[in-house]
Amino acid sequence: MSSKMLQFTHIEQQSPDKRAAETRKQDFNEIYGGFQDDRATDQASRCEQCGIPFCSVHCPLGNHIPDWLMLTANGRLEEAYALSSSTNSMPEVCGRICPQDRLCEGSCVLEQSRHRSVTIGAVEKYITDTAWEKGWVQPVVPTEERSESVGIIGGGPAGLAAAEQLRMQGFQVHVYDRYDRMGGLLVYGIPGFKLEKDVIARRVDLLERSGVVFHPNTDIGKTVTFAELRSRHDSILIATGVYKARALTIPGAGLTGVHKALDYLITSNKVSLGDSIEAYTSGELNAAGKDVVVIGGGDTAMDCVRTAIRQGAKSVKCLYRRDRDNMPGSQREVANAEEEGVEFVWLAAPEALLNEGTDQAVSGVRCIRMHLGIADASGRQSPEPTPGSQFVLPADLVIEALGFEPEDLPAMFGEADLTVTRWGTLKTHPRTLMTSLDGVFAAGDIVRGASLVVWGIRDGRDAAASIGRYLNEKAVAQAAE
């Protein structure tokens, strides 16, 4: 074992420097800097090298975290990157946006023993950013080119991860996406202050240089039929994600000024990318000078409130029906939002959206105080209203960040035989990830439901392995005929 490890007894946990709130809320650049070499080495050397690495156990990708921490502590960064990228198709993304406090770092033995965890995410980002700078990240070069082709519907985390793995196996890979840029929610859903867009652009460019063919602005069922796509390719992977927003069902939900979180975030991200968007220019999806209320407590809600701050909102409030300890979003993101001026209204739920003017514009949110009652089937305490506790929050812009559901893919694709679950997600074989249609696989949120980017990457890699087995078995069968 390296003498540089187990330094947690005299080296304190340190995170990369974070830009001051007053500075960072003026732009959409990432708020965290990167580690310098010596700080990365020091933080990696704090790893205890556990016999049972709970950080790896609780990583959806099963990353070999203690091993690449040890390599980093010893200055063997090229090997650290090779090991990191062997299990993760986008380590530079996961290092930036994974909720490490709920996954690897939250499971670190040092965190449980009150020494505070190793800053795994920041070291992962350091390793991969260094690899890009040094030119160690190279396009995939398969050992053998295969004639079979795979069509991937969806250019988000699952689709891109699958594309990389399928090219490694030598298959011809085509990725189709409805938007004009590849990356899915990595580009249009996650703001730049968490993930700058050139990070995704260089990964997409790498895949293109690896031989992956991208087809943007391609809406399956409209631009091209699903049946035609199946005829083009030997196998299909559906990795569309889930984009249908859950909507408020309270009085006033149809008022002007009430918008879905994804519509708001896509507009903001397109503007940041240099696009001219009428809904932003007109002020419809622009928070400048407005009282903003975001309803919801997940990571999407955090993205919305922090975006509104940067757009120059007059005030920004986040309304959530449970308390801080029971919210689904990252506690790190909550802390960042509070620093930037967001006010959290805990244990409160909307009762109605108000309209006090002559037009149909929202003017406020009538809320009711909640308290946590008996735990439900999931083990979480159910929020219950407190009678007579109503109050009103002024609002010119209300953003619904209530989560996402699957679109009706059988109807969209014109494929009635594509079987879905009672939740609307695609039904797949638990081992092979094949849908009810032969040769058609599915991965990511469209199977799992709205989840984390890291799970999308894991699912995409698993699907690529299954598709490879399917095509190999098919090739063997055809050769035997």
What confidence tens digit (pLDDT) does each residue in 406-457 have? 999 999 999 999 999 999 999 999 999 999 999 999 999 999 999 999 999 9
Number of domains in the chain: 3
Mean pLDDT of the chain: 95
The residues facing 176 across adjacent strands are 153, 215
Of 78, 101, 134, the last residue of a domain is 134
Of 402, 428, 453, the last residue of a domain is 402
pLDDT, position 91: 97
Same domain, 179 and 201: yes
The mean pLDDT of 179-203, rounded to a whole number, is: 96
Q: Given a cut of 60, is residue 480 above it in pLDDT? A: yes
Of 350, 383, 402, the last residue of a domain is 402
Q: Given a cut of 50, is residue 1 above it in pLDDT? A: no
- Residue 271, token pair as written in the block: 């503007």
Residue 68 CA to residue 124 CA, distance in Å, equals: 9
Same domain, 114 and 190: no
Lowest-confidence range among 6-15, 71-80, 271-280? 6-15
Q: Given a cut of 70, is residue 98 above it in pLDDT? A: yes
Q: Given a cut of 80, is residue 341 above it in pLDDT? A: yes
Same domain, 177 and 41: no
Q: Which amino acid type is present at position 444?
A: G
Same domain, 317 and 383: yes
- 201-206 long-range Cβ contacts below 8 angstroms, 24+ apart: 202/132, 203/90, 203/92, 203/93, 203/160, 204/155, 204/160, 206/137, 206/139
Same domain, 231 and 255: no
* 142 is a domain residue: no
* 37 is a domain residue: yes
Q: What is the CB-side half-sphere exposure of residue 34 using CA atoms within 13 A? A: 12
Q: Given a cut of 60, is residue 3 above it in pLDDT? A: no
* 139 is a domain residue: no
Mode of pairing for the β-strands spanning 404-405 and 244-245: antiparallel
- Residue 204, token pair as written in the block: 């997409």
Same domain, 351 and 428: no
The mean pLDDT of 129-135, rounded to a whole number, is: 97
- Residue 273, token pair as written in the block: 């990318």
CATH of the domain at 21: 1.10.1060.10
Instruction: Give the containing element (helix H, strand E) for 122.
Output: helix 120-134
The structure's pTM equals 0.95
- Residue 337, token pair as written in the block: 């939002």
Same domain, 98 and 212: no
Cα 154 to its chain centre, rounded Å, is 14
Question: What are 157-169's pLDDT values in tens digits?
Answer: 999 999 999 999 9
Same domain, 19 and 118: yes
Same domain, 166 and 290: no
Q: What is the CB-side half-sphere exposure of residue 443 using CA atoms within 13 A? A: 33
Same domain, 379 and 266: yes
* 69 is a domain residue: yes
What spatial distance separates the first Cα and last Cα of the chain, rounded to whole Å? Answer: 55
* 2 is a domain residue: no
The boundaries of the domain holding residue 260 are: 247-402
* 358 is a domain residue: yes
For residue 392, the SS3 value is strand
Same domain, 398 and 420: no
Share of the chain above pLDDT 90, in %: 88
* 252 is a domain residue: yes
Phi, psi of 234 (to 5 degrees): -80, -20
Instruction: Give the containing element (helix H, strand E) for 152.
Output: strand 149-153
Q: Which amino acid type is present at position 259?
A: H
Place of tokens 């105080």: 369
Same domain, 14 and 118: yes
* 29 is a domain residue: yes
CATH of the domain at 356: 3.50.50.60
